[in-house]
Structure formats: C-alpha cells, structure tokens
Amino acid sequence: MPKRSFQSRALRHVAHLSVGIAVLLGSCTAATIQPAPDRTSPPSTTVSAPSSATATQALPPATPADGPTTDPSVGPGPYRLILAPDGTEARYRVREQLANLSFPSDAVGATKSVSGALVFEADGNLIADQSRFVVDLATLRSDSGRRDGFVRGNTLETDQYPTAVFVPTAAQGLPSPLPRSGPVAFTLVGDLTIHGVTRPISWDVTAQAVGQSLIGSAATSFTFADFGLRIPRVAVVLSVEDNIRLELDFHLVLEASAGP
C-alpha cells in the first residue's frame, strides 16, 4: 500500500474519534447532576398553619393568673359599721282606737336623729363596749302635734330621759366575714334602755349587703310596763293596745378597721 494512502486513512480515523468524544462530553454537560443527599441531617418538611378553629381547640384550658383573688366579703375584721345619715330612721308603732274612727289604726312617730355603730372582732364577735345605737326621743314626730306633746311629756318624759340606747352584745346568724352582696338575716341581741329602765331585748334584722354597705330594717316589740311607761289616756283616744313596736331602717357603712 502506498504510504500516502495509509496516512490519509489514519487522519480520517483520528477525526472521527475526536467528533465522538466531543459529542459525548456535550451530552454530559447538558445533563443536570443531582447531588447526593446529606445523610447526616433529616429531610426538611413544610408544616402548614392550622385553621383558627383547629388552633382554638388545641389550646389548653385557661388557668387563673398568679396573685391574690378578689375577696367578695368584708373582713375578716376587726371592722366597724357606722350608721349613715341617709337611709336611717327610727319609729315607734302603737295600735290605737280613735274616737272619731270606726276602726283601729297605728300611731306612728319617727325620727332620723339616730346614731351608732356595730364593731366586730376578727372572729365575728361583737365588741359590746364599742357598739351601740342612740335615738333622740325628743325629736319623734307623728301626724299629730297633740299626740307628740303628750308622748314626750307624759309617756316618755323626754325632759328626764331624752334618749333610747341599745347596746348589742351578739349578732346571731350574721355571717363572718360579712358578704359584699346578697341578702343577710340575723338576730341582734342586747340591752335596751328606755325611761331609765334597761332590759335584754332582741331585734329581727333583714338586710341586703351592697358593696361596703348593709342596708335593711330591724324590729322588736315590748309592752309599756316592760319599761315603766304609762299607757296614754286622752279623750280623743278610746283605747291603746299594750304593745309598742320599734322599727329601725338603717344604712350601715363600713368605715375602717377597728384595730391594728
């Protein structure tokens, strides 16, 4: 074979081989090479936020905040309940038969001249030497000036005995500490002094606790003879029942601590 022919075929073979290598490298470059996963860390995940309803249901039940809670009661004492001038009135009520009426009626005399307080120990017991109520009997007024004059001068004798004084010694059934809302009923026991005579007596008390106040009424009754009083005898009065009912509308207000 001639030498020139052999060299020509060799050159064509090298050219074909070069084209094949170039095609192979081009295909490798065009391909996307995925890196090998990192086996040292967990695969990442995407968590979608739950809906508002689902999130609400997942919340734990609410718990009270730390710290003191609001105490709905007064106390536990010692504390002092003072009579407020507004909403306080003392009355007597006596059933009488007047000459000009065909039926009996109540003679009612009232006054707002009442002062006093209830003072309690921390255990709810009354402090008797600090608790009392005083009524100015000379200021009692009814619907009849003639009656008022007779009662002051002949029955109560207010020139000599101008006041009625009640010294409570126990509040039976009164809750301790005193609530700040709701109804309250109890019996107030103590000593009543009228016309120079002192006798033990009890009052039925019904009230409503309203915040720092105790608003209600109290009532008791006794005979004229219990306190050495004369039953009124006048021409316009045919008869008077031997029973006196005392009533007190009160507005007691928590003033301040009565002790340290």
Bridge partners of residue 172, in order along the sequence: 187
- Residue 85: the pLDDT is 86
- Residue 127: the pLDDT is 94
* Residue pLDDT, tens place only, 54-108: 333 333 333 333 333 334 455 555 789 999 989 999 999 998 876 666 567 888 9
Bridge partners of residue 149, in order along the sequence: none
Question: Token pair for residue 111?
Answer: 């006054």
- Residue 53: the pLDDT is 39
Check pLDDT > 60 for residue 3: no
Task: Report d(CA 73, CA 62) in Å as an integer.
Answer: 25
Judged by DSSP in three states, 151 sits in helix
Q: Could you tell me the fold of the domain covering 73-89+109-222+249-257?
A: Lipocalin (2.40.128)
Write the single-letter amino acid at 58: A
Stretch 184-210: mean pLDDT, rounded?
Answer: 97
For residue 71, the 8-state DSSP code is P
Other residues' Cβ atoms within 10 Å of the Cβ of residue 252? 23
Judged by DSSP in three states, 62 sits in coil
- Residue 144: the pLDDT is 87
Asked whether the beta carbons of 221 and 199 are under 8 A apart, the reply is: no
- Residue 228: the pLDDT is 95
- Residue 78: the pLDDT is 79
- Residue 147: the pLDDT is 86
Task: Report d(CA 21, CA 32) in Å as an integer.
Answer: 19
Other residues' Cβ atoms within 10 Å of the Cβ of residue 239? 13
Task: Report d(CA 107, CA 220) in Å as an integer.
Answer: 16
Between 105 and 192, where is the model more confident?
192
Where along the chain do its domains lie? 73-89+109-222+249-257
Task: Report d(CA 153, CA 245) in Å as an integer.
Answer: 20
Stretch 118-135: mean pLDDT, rounded?
Answer: 92
